[in-house]
Amino acid sequence: MEIRERILELKRKKNVIILGHYYQIPEIQDISDYVGDSLALAQQAAQTDKSIILFCGVHFMGETAKILNPDKKVIIPDLNAGCSLADSCPYDEFKKFKDNYPDHIVISYINCSAEIKTLSDIICTSGNALQIVNSLPKDQKIIFAPDKNLGGYINRMTGRNMVLYHGSCEVHDLLTAEYTLKMKQKYPDHLLIAHPECNDAVLQIADYVGSTQGMIKYVKQSSCKKFLVATENGILHKLQADNPDKEFVVVTQKESCACNDCRHMKLNTMEKVLASLEEEKYEINLDEETIINAKRPIEKMLSLSKQLGLIK
C-alpha cells in the first residue's frame, strides 16, 4: 500500500484529526483534514472532537493544540521542528524585559513557547493582530512580543507606540528591500504581496501586506494575474490550486536560493507522519499550571476574534 493510503487508513482507524499548516510540503497538506494558517488551525484545534490531534507544523503549534485540549493526545511528526521566532524569545530574558514595563499589558504573537504565553495577556496571530490591537483603548500601554517586524508594522498602521521585543523569523526577516526591488524591476507586471514577519523595508514596498490567509484571499479576489510572493514557499501550493490561471514568483534573499523554505516546517515528511500515526509519537506534554496560564490569553484571542467577526 502507498504511504499516503496507509496514513489515511490509520487516521480513520485511530480517530485522528490531522491539522496541517500552509508551510508543509504539498503531500502533507493533501492528507491533512484541515489546512490553514495559525489562526484557523488554533480554532480547529479548539473545536475538534477527535481523540488524537496530529499537528503537522512546528512545536509551538502542537503546544497550542495541547493547551486547548489538555485531555487529548497531541502528537507531532518531529520533535526538532521548532521555530526561530519562538526560540528568539527565551522565558528568563522575556520575564526580565517585561518587568521593566509593569504598567503594560503583553500581547504575544502565537509563534512563542507555552511559557511565554503564560506571561501574556492576549495572544494574536498575523491574521488578527491588527484588529486586536485596534480594539484596545488608545492609551493602553502594550508590550508586543516576540516579533519586532509584525509589532513594528502594527505600530505603523495604528499610530501606536507599543514596546517591541526584538525577536524575528529567520525566513521572513532575511529578505531585503534591495533585492526585492531588483525582483520588482525584473517582474514589473507582478504585484508584491508580503507577510508582516518581513522587515519594514520590504513591507514598505509591498502592494499588499497580510497573513497567510490574507494573502490567499487577496490573490483570489485580485484581477491581477501575476504576483511576487514574499513569504514561505509552502503557500504556493494553495495559491496555485486556487488560481490556475495566475503566475507566482517567490521573493528570495538573493538569486536562486532556497531561503524561503522554513527548515523547521520542512523537517516533517510523509514517512514521519506515518511513523507518528503508527507509534502515536511524538507526544506534547505540558504541566497543568502552564496549561491553565497559557490557555487564558489564547482563549482571549479566540473570543476577541469571534467578537471582531474574524472567525465564526
What character string, x for contact with ligand SF4 (CB under 6 A) and - otherwise, covers 171-190?
Answer: x-------------------
Secondary structure element (H or E) that encloses residue 182, with its range: helix 177-186
Query: Using the rule CB under 6 A, which residue among 175, 202, 230, 262 binds ligand SF4?
Result: 262
**Which residue of 48, 168, 199, 211 would you call a contact of ligand 13P, by CB under 6 A?**
211
Nearer to ligand 13P, 141 or 195 (CB): 195
Closest CA to 120 of 136, 100, 104: 104
**C-alpha span between 206 and 21 (Å, rounded):** 24
**Best CA proximity match to 70, nearest among 306, 294, 279:** 294
Nearer to ligand SF4, 58 or 219 (CB): 58
CB closer to ligand SF4 out of 24 and 69: 24
The grid cell for 241 is 490550486
What type of residue sits at position 123?
I
Among positions 24, 48, 111, 252, the unique one binding ligand SF4 when judged by CB under 6 A: 111
Secondary structure of residue 213 in the 3-state scheme: helix
- Site map for ligand SF4, 205-234, x if CB under 6 A? ---------------------------x--
From the CA atom positions of the chain, what is the Rg in Å? 19
CB of 36 to ligand 13P, least distance (A): 8
Among positions 7, 41, 53, 58, the unique one binding ligand SF4 when judged by CB under 6 A: 58
Q: Rounded to the nearest 5°, which phi and psi values hold at 249?
A: -125, 125
Q: Which residue, 14 or 300, is less far from ligand 13P as judged by CB?
A: 300
Query: What residues numbered 3-42 form the site for ligand 13P, per CB under 6 A?
Result: 37-38
Pick one of ligand SF4, ligand 13P, none as the site partner of residue 170 (Cβ within 5 to 8 A by kind): ligand SF4
> Where in 111-150 is the site for ligand 13P (CB under 6 A)?
111, 125-127
The closest alpha carbon to 228, from 255, 202, 247, 256, belongs to: 247
**Span of 43-51, 122-130, 165-173, 199-207 interacting with ligand SF4 by CB under 6 A:** 165-173
Q: Does residue 85 bind ligand SF4 (CB under 6 A)? A: yes
Rounded distance, CA 169 to CA 256, Å? 20
Give the nearer residue to ligand SF4 in terms of CB position, either 84 or 155: 84
Give the integer Cα–Cα distance in Å for 309 and 30: 28
Tell me if residue 285 falls in helix, strand or coil: coil
CB of 197 to ligand SF4, least distance (A): 6
Among 265, 270, 273, 310, which residue interacts with ligand SF4 (rule: CB under 6 A)?
265
Does an H or E element contain 52, and which? strand 52-56
Instruction: Residue 194: name the closest of 154, 165, 229, 161 by CA.
Output: 229
Pull the grid cell for residue 183: 525582483
Tell which positions 166-205 bind ligand 13P, by CB under 6 A: 169, 197
Helices (H), 259-287: 270-279
User: Is 261 within 8 Å of 5 (Cβ atoms)?
Assistant: no
* Residues engaged in binding ligand 13P (CB under 6 A): 37-38, 111, 125-127, 169, 197, 211-212
* Residues engaged in binding ligand SF4 (CB under 6 A): 58, 83-85, 111, 169-171, 232, 262, 264-265
